[in-house]
Structures are given as structure tokens and as C-alpha cells.
Amino acid sequence: MATMKDIAREASVSVATVSMVLNNKPNSRISKHKREEIERLARKLNYQPNFAAISLSKQQSLNIALIVPDITNPFFSLLTKEIDLSLEKDGYSTIFVDSNNSFQNEKKAIESMVSRGVDGIILVPSNEFFRVDQAQRKQLIANLDKPFILLNAYPNDLDVSYVNFDNVNGAYIATQELIDKGHREIAFIQGQTGFVNAAERLAGYQQALRDHHLAIKPQNLFMGDYSVQSGYELASTITQRKDITAILSSNDLMLFGMIKWAKMHHIDVLHQYAMIGFDNDPYSEILEVPLTSVDQRPKAMIEEALAILLERIGNDHPVNKHALIKPELIKRASVFAPVPTSE
């Protein structure tokens, strides 16, 4: 494998010059022509950075731990892939852990990653993370001596850096879209109490109803657990309600479950109800009636989170930072005016 010394010899320059070019460091004494020559030689000789030497010189492992609650969920799969690609560009490797929606697994993973000397930790918390005793969460964070950030969560009881999607606004603009199309009886499939982002999405739905002088009806609220199965199980109850004309779900998966149940029972829910989900799952646009969904803009969340985390690495006096990413409603054919009933 080629070294910087090999490139320096071919280019008739010093190793220091090669290092500055390949590490993209500015130096007015190195001409554009010489930079291009060094970069061309690096590609020709198949130069690969020696990350072990780099990490030793910087006293860093160049590893970032990423802990997610469920890799089988398409949203978390996308987050994992995008984080790994982004970190790779910055010279870091990702150590991935699936917590299987368990606070104890999250705790073990964090302790393990700290012992392995990672440079930082990204936690996409499970639902259980917010359901355990507050003291347990605070103790876990207080004992950390590594740069740490929460992603896809709003931890209002923890003094940590976090980046999240503006769930209140996401649910608000989705509900408003349905209201603007003429819907007044809008079912909301919410996440269970204590679930990540569930309270914020419920608040956005309710605020939109209030702002349009519509009653908040407990009978229009249905509770799921963000899984396809929970949507499947709720479908029978929701479709019995003849007054409901639209459905907003706290994620796309629960709507997929409802659609699955409806197909098995020969009920055309895709044309009977206007529907909006969350997460903009890739499968949303290939349904018979493509699904309108609130896009959480995961790439923007990741960009913001990694900027905060990498800034904290090597900083002796880090300051916690927070960011909320503005949502985007991806409009497709699943939102339409109320369908007149035959009754």
C-alpha cells in the first residue's frame, strides 16, 4: 500500500507537502497544479490513510457509537445508513448497536462503547428510555464522560445536546391540510403515553383543531405503538365509525397495518378516507393511492447532529446545543375532499 513518502518521491515534494494536500489544509506556497498532481498520484498509487496512526497522533479512536431502537423500522434504517455515510466522509467509522427498544440495552451499550474508547455517542432513544424513572436517565447521562447527543427526541428533563424534528408543527400542518380539504371528523392514531414524540404529535393535531374552531373529540383518538400490527388491530374499530372522513397517523407503519387489514376484508380504505402519515416511508409512494406523509428530513437532522457532536469532540468545555428541524409535508394522492356517504 502506497504511503505519503511514496507520493512525495513521485511528486518531488516533501512528505509535509503531501500531508497538507491530502488533509485539505491551505498553504499558499503549494500551487494548484502541484495539488492536482499530488491528488492524481494518490489515486494512481491507491493511497489509503493510516487511520490507526491518525487516531494515535490525535489521541482519538475515530469511532462513533450509534445506538438505535429498532433497525427493522425503515426510518431508523435510513438514519443509520445516512449517519454512517456522513461519518465516513469525516474520517470516522460507525459502531452500530440495536437496543431492541430496551432501556437496559441502551445502558449496556453506552457503557460498552465508553469502555471501548469511542470518540462520541449518538443515541436514538427507545420508547422505554422515556418511560423509566427519570432518575435512571439522569444518572446515565451524568456518568458519561464522552461527547453525547440524542437524536430524534426532545428530552426536556435532561441537560444534553439533542436534535429533533419539530413534531408539533409536523402534526399541525398535516391536520391543517386535511381541514383545508373540508374534513371535520379527523381520526388521529397516536403513539402510546411515554412513546418518543407521541405527546408532541398529539399536541400539534389538537392545536390545529383549536385554531380552526373544531372540537377535540376523545372518540376520534386511537392509540397504537408505531407498529404495522397495531394499525392492523385498530382498523376494525376505526372503519366502524361512519362519521370519520380522514385519518392522521403518528407514523406510516400504522397506516400500512390498517391498509393490510382492509385489503383482507375487502374494504377500500384508500378511497374511503383521506390519509396522512409520518416519516415519508419509501413504500408510501408505491401504494395504489400514494400516501401523503410528513417528512422529518432525516438528512437535515443528521447534518445538524453530527456538526454538534464533532464540535464537542476535543472540546474541553463543551456547551450543550439543541436544534429542531422544520418538517415538510409531502403531498400525494391520499388527501382529497370528504367522500359523500350513501346513507
Rounded to the nearest integer, the mean pLDDT of the chain is: 92
167-295 has the same fold as 61-165+298-326: yes
DSSP for 185-214, please give it.
-EEEEEEPTT-TTHHHHHHHHHHHHHHTT-
Q: How high is the pLDDT of residue 54?
A: 56
Lowest mean pLDDT among 3-17, 18-32, 228-242: 18-32
Q: Candidates 3.40.50.300, 3.40.50.2300, 3.40.309.10, 3.40.50.720; correct CATH number of 167-295?
A: 3.40.50.2300
d(CA 226, CA 316): 39
Q: The domain 61-165+298-326: what is its CATH number? A: 3.40.50.2300
Query: What does the H/E/C string look like for 26-80?
Result: CCCCCCHHHHHHHHHHHHHCCCCCCHHHHHHHHCCCCEEEEEECCCCCHHHHHHH
Lowest mean pLDDT among 10-14, 174-178, 237-241: 10-14
Pick the residue with more confidence: 84 or 115? Answer: 84
Q: What residues does each domain of the chain span?
A: 4-48, 61-165+298-326, 167-295
pTM of this prediction?
0.81
Q: How high is the pLDDT of residue 50?
A: 65
Q: How high is the pLDDT of residue 48?
A: 77
Q: pLDDT, tens digit, for every residue of 217-243?
A: 999 999 999 999 999 999 999 999 999
Q: pLDDT, tens digit, for every residue of 270-315?
A: 999 999 999 999 999 999 999 999 999 999 999 999 999 999 887 8
